[in-house]
Amino acid sequence: MVQENFTLAIEILGTIAFAMSGSFAAMQKRLDPFGVLIIAFVTSVGGGTIRDLLLGVPIFWMHDMVICSVIFVTCIVSMIFKSLEKKFKVTLFIFDSFGLGLFTIVGIQKGMNADLHPLICITLGTITGCFGGITRDILLNRIPLIFRKEIYATACIVGGGIFLMLVKYTALSYAFVQISTIFLIVAIRTLSIKYQWQIPKFYGVDNNSEM
């Protein structure tokens, strides 16, 4: 029961983090309050919705008004907080990073509960962590972070792999492993931005340059 409550707390915190991330991203684009609410909502539930569809289970937010209420309240708070917040970019990064870490763990645990292969669990964790942000960026007409040079999905994969190894091969408490892995994912994101870590990208031939 304690473990279930702790996992629920992680899911709610992740929902708050991504709702904040979506709200601030929408306000950057000067959307109206309804638009801000929609972006906050899809950012919070996008990844989890795809995960549940892949697992063939009921979509979590359609049977849990607590999650919907959390998103709504968080969105209202973010719009009020907006008048005091000047550093949108930093705020967006903080909430997006913590949402990424929190939801990655939630997705992995869903896969573990379904007795799936560890690689599939990591995939589900990455989908849960990333696809809400992808949907947000597409709706806001931005190139999604996962497709840019920033370390994003890689942080989920590395953190997810370490999470599974710690659970399987150590005697550390489950709660400690959850928390430490979340902060590891946040740390990877933060350090990648600070030190400009990048994944190599492909460069195509510009035919126009030869004319």
Whether the per-residue pLDDT at 208 is higher than 80: the answer is no
Distances (CA, A) of 141 to 57, 146, 151, 199: 31, 14, 20, 23
Q: How many CB atoms lie within 10 A of CB 10?
A: 20
Tokens of 184: 């590891």
pLDDT digit string (tens) for 20-59? 999 999 998 999 999 999 999 999 999 999 999 999 999 9
- Largest Cα–Cα separation, the chain: 68
Position with higher pLDDT, 194 vs 188: 188
> What is the residue-averaged pLDDT of the chain?
89
Whole-number percent of the chain with pLDDT over 90? 67
**6 CB-near residues (< 8 Å, 6+ apart):** 175, 178
Instruction: Give exposure, 146-185, as e/b (b: 16+ Cβ within 10 Å).
Output: beeebbbbbbbbbbbbebbebbeeeeeeeeebbeebbebb
- pLDDT band, very low/low/confident/very high, at 93 (cuts 50, 70, 90): confident
What is the structure's pLDDT at 48?
96
What is the structure's pLDDT at 83?
63
**162 CB-near residues (< 8 Å, 6+ apart):** 181, 184
What is the structure's pLDDT at 1?
63
pLDDT digit string (tens) for 5-24? 788 889 999 999 999 999 99
The CA distance from 153 to 14, in Å, is: 16
Whether the per-residue pLDDT at 89 is higher than 70: the answer is yes
pLDDT digit string (tens) for 153-163? 999 999 999 99
Position with higher pLDDT, 165 vs 150: 165
Position with higher pLDDT, 31 vs 89: 31
pTM of the model: 0.88
Q: Of the given ranges (41-50, 79-88, 128-137), which has the lowest mean pLDDT? A: 79-88
The CA distance from 3 to 6, in Å, is: 5
The CA distance from 119 to 130, in Å, is: 16
Position with higher pLDDT, 177 vs 196: 177
The CA distance from 71 to 41, in Å, is: 6
Mean pLDDT value across residues 170-190: 94
